[in-house]
Structure 1
């Protein structure tokens, strides 16, 4: 369980974009390559350096031994003082009770001590500290046959890698230059892909994106060229669709108007005329729904609109038909919306409420402003929609099983509302109503970048206002 949680946390911290994933992968490979190169260089350079240092140590020991042998006895103390002052080399006689600390057991030290012992003899000893003095200590004898050992100390600075910092700086600089180059190389791929994704989102929203530059690597240029061709074909298809819809609107509705006129003038009994006229009106409404759905996302620009006044205007014709519509709206609420599409969405919700709840049951329209959104709600007392079917009912040409006996409607009403509210960057919510019925709620966001800012004047409602 902990392993699973750990892997999820690790994946959460990893970059998600192609640019940074590729960049970090290249950075990791470059870092590993630099580390491997450093280890290989050190592996072959350490023996050479150990031989050079060993030769320097042996030379110091031999020169010290020769100086001590050839110096007069009374001048040896003066010689030792000069060596300590001028060269930092200290010489002390070795005693069995000396407190010494051995050298670090590293590959460098093993190579160095092995080479020094090979030249000075197997009796040579080494230490990192003699009594309280730190340094590189080497034992030697004035004469190979002599049992008396001496300690000679070389300053640690002579054994340190004087160019290590420089090598590190040059290596870090080379790595930095390589990473900058890798970023520039990867960005040549990621930038066109981001532009392609941005244009794809524009196409998905129903608009025509700008022309993508067909430059760069062959594969990227080929994709951009294919995408530009696709968007051009879609633009032509949209133009053809608009032309066809205009023809359908004229060619279908004109015969329906003549048919309605003929029915009204046929002299048939009144109830039969009303039934046939109602069927013609239903056919005209269904054609209107098909045309609305076929037009796609609304293209009307956002305008500052008094939604409260719009709802009053929408409800009035229904009240004249005798439908009980109650309004619970403020005196004024101005918001940036697309007026005609929003009006069409509210009309579709009211028509659905009238169709499935009946003209004798009340319909309530509520307008409210919340902290981050404006709510437009149409509530009825019809059979409602089961919770498991609400998501499916948003799809076009979808109807409930118990509504099949009612042949009215094409199942496009909620799909059109869903598309219109999506163009406002809002949400259509379908919820049950206490006591039976359906609540269809339009959530219009108050995001200044999208839907502007709403202002509400007054708080009085006109519930039941005629």
Structure 2
């Protein structure tokens, strides 16, 4: 049932207004009929009584031998048929409706309680009324049939057409009103999607109704505050990078020149490098959505350049990539994402196990896969691991890392309009796959994907 209901404000408002208009029109129609029916019944009853009285007078005053000619003339000129009543007459009463009850009551009140009304006499359909030439003589009774168009309301169809016309015009007006109300909201939604994708939208028009103007003003103010916050964040990040990494570099130099035993120096240098790596992850995550434009790049060559330093360090890394594979990507952020996946694999699988990296096109997507032989990620933990500052329970005792690696990768993929798949590897381990849209307008897809992801997170 919920799936059949409209979800947009435009259609919800339109259907609500349309329903109210239909109910109002139906209510007014019933009110009009309720008060119009008595007056209509009195007019019709007066017309029936007049016809019956004129017919009775004509038959009473006419010569007996000329009554037949009179009856033929009434039928031909006025459409009024007159037949003598018999005890064996087959009758069908009028339908039991309020107008018919009012009409019958008015006719009997003027012609007498002995008056009968029927919708069919023998096999003839029509409006039939009985009358007596002499009110005291029940054997001298006649039936008079009036044409149906004289009894029925000739304006009913006109009223229906005008009512439907008014309803259509009102519903058209309701649609225009709902559309007019929804237009500024759609502009706010588009601007919000741009903000969600890391862009600064143009200021919204603050004119129009007060409620809409207040929303537009608040949104513009929020956008300006966010822009200033981004500028402050960039300034803070630059200061953090300088104020923390510079002392770390001096500390490392001092440790290496301290003359301490080589094992202790190596351990301290490793800790300093880990601190520098954690600071780098905080900086990467704090930068937010990458702002660099998507440009055609040789993804295969880019991955080769990333993996080569690991091989030079003696890491058993196997790369399977085509000679060339060009696609629109943000090269700097994609390098960071691939490097984070490789670092995560080495951290949890160990540097003594083989690491497989592959690049290719799968189902119309450019895929970069990093597969390790580590402990992997349980299926019920996959979504949680995409969030910042999250580590597996078994890894909580290992203080290395800030739990931002996969969160950074997830954000980079959203900026590309792609996704990060975390799948179990046959034989044990984890397959981390970066799926990028192949060709097309990657920037536009990235904005839409970022907006959808931000909506889900909220």
Instruction: Answer yes or no: is 1:39 the counterpart of 2:30.
Output: yes
The one-character-per-residue Cα deviations of 1:316-339 (angstroms, maximum 9, x if unpaired) are: 111111111111223332222211
Name the structure 2 match of 1:51.
42
> How far, CA to CA, are the matches of 2:233 and 2:413 in structure 1?
22
Shift, 1:197, TM fit: 2.7
Instruction: Answer yes or no: is 1:378 the counterpart of 2:370.
Output: yes
Shift, 1:264, TM fit: 4.4
Residue of structure 1 aligned with 2:72, choices 60, 77, 81: 81
Shift, 1:206, TM fit: 2.5
The one-character-per-residue Cα deviations of 1:270-294 (angstroms, maximum 9, x if unpaired) are: 5444444433333322222121111
Shift, 1:201, TM fit: 2.8
Name the structure 2 match of 1:248.
240
Name the structure 1 match of 2:147.
155
> How far, CA to CA, are the matches of 1:400 and 1:100 in structure 2?
91
Shift, 1:420, TM fit: 0.5
Instruction: Answer yes or no: is 1:325 the counterpart of 2:317.
Output: yes
The alignment's TM-score, normalised by the length of structure 1, stands at 0.89
After TM superposition, the runs of 4+ consecutive aligned structure 1 residues lying more than 6 A away are none
The one-character-per-residue Cα deviations of 1:112-131 (angstroms, maximum 9, x if unpaired) are: 11111111112211121122
Name the structure 1 match of 2:454.
none
Most deviating of 438-447 and 40-49: 438-447
Secondary structure at the aligned position of 1:390 is classed as helix
> How far, CA to CA, are the matches of 1:370 and 1:85 in structure 2?
89
Q: Structure 1: which 5+ runs fail to align? A: 1-8, 454-466
> How far, CA to CA, are the matches of 1:442 and 1:421 in structure 2?
7
Name the structure 2 match of 1:5.
none
Q: Write the mapping of 1:427-446 to structure 2, written as runs, cut at 5 A.
A: 427-446=419-438
**Residues 17, 430 of structure 1: CA spacing in aligned structure 2 closer, same or farther, 3 A cutoff?**
same
Shift, 1:266, TM fit: 5.0
Q: How many residues were matched structurally?
A: 444
**Residues 79, 230 of structure 1: CA spacing in aligned structure 2 closer, same or farther, 3 A cutoff?**
same
Most deviating of 368-377 and 162-171: 368-377
Name the structure 2 match of 1:117.
108
Q: Structure 2: which 5+ runs fail to align? A: 446-458
Does structure 1 retain, via aligned residues, the 8 Å contact 2:94–2:119? yes
Shift, 1:447, TM fit: 7.6
- Say what the alpha-carbon RMSD is for the aligned residues: 2.2
Residue of structure 2 aligned with 1:209, choices 187, 201, 210: 201
Residue of structure 2 aligned with 1:421, choices 402, 413, 416: 413
Most deviating of 118-127 and 185-194: 185-194
Most deviating of 259-268 and 280-289: 259-268
**Residues 145, 269 of structure 1: CA spacing in aligned structure 2 closer, same or farther, 3 A cutoff?**
closer
Does structure 2 retain, via aligned residues, the 8 Å contact 1:188–1:216? no
Residue of structure 2 aligned with 1:99, choices 74, 90, 97: 90
The alignment's TM-score, normalised by the length of structure 2, stands at 0.91
Name the structure 2 match of 1:235.
227
